[in-house]
Amino acid sequence: MDVFKKDGAKLSLKFHPATRDKEQSMDTLKIKGMSCKHCVGAVEKALEKIPGLSQIAVNLEAGEVTFANNGVERQQIRAAISKIGFEPGA
């Protein structure tokens, strides 16, 4: 988590294969259909179950979720959102 507070540190990790599993990138995904904090909670819960995702933050106003992704296929994330009744963006 601290890694993302220091740009220099994040960059240097990329050049060290041994630290690869600590390497993460922040992703954003649009989500249609969220209307209240319960929707937000449902999306957060669904994504927290996926190993490799962390720092999950849903923005209701923007209709999107931001997360740190350590190697999870985008399609898998979209499927988890569809499964609970929301419409993920591309």
Query: What gap in Å lies between CA 69 and CA 29, rounded to an integer?
Result: 11
87 binds Cu ion (CB under 5 A): no
Residue 27 DSSP SS3: strand
| Sole window of 10-18, 35-43, 55-63, 71-79 interacting with Cu ion (rule: CB under 5 A) | 35-43
43 binds Cu ion (CB under 5 A): no
Using alpha carbons, select from 29, 10, 20 the residue that is nearest to residue 73: 29
- CB 11 → Cu ion: shortest distance, Å? 39
Complete edge-to-edge strand list for the sheet that includes strand 87-88: 53-59, 64-69, 25-32, 87-88
- CB 74 → Cu ion: shortest distance, Å? 24
Query: Given candidates 29, 31, 39, 58, which one binds Cu ion under the rule CB under 5 A?
Result: 39
- CB 7 → Cu ion: shortest distance, Å? 36
Binding site for Cu ion (CB under 5 A): 35-36, 38-39
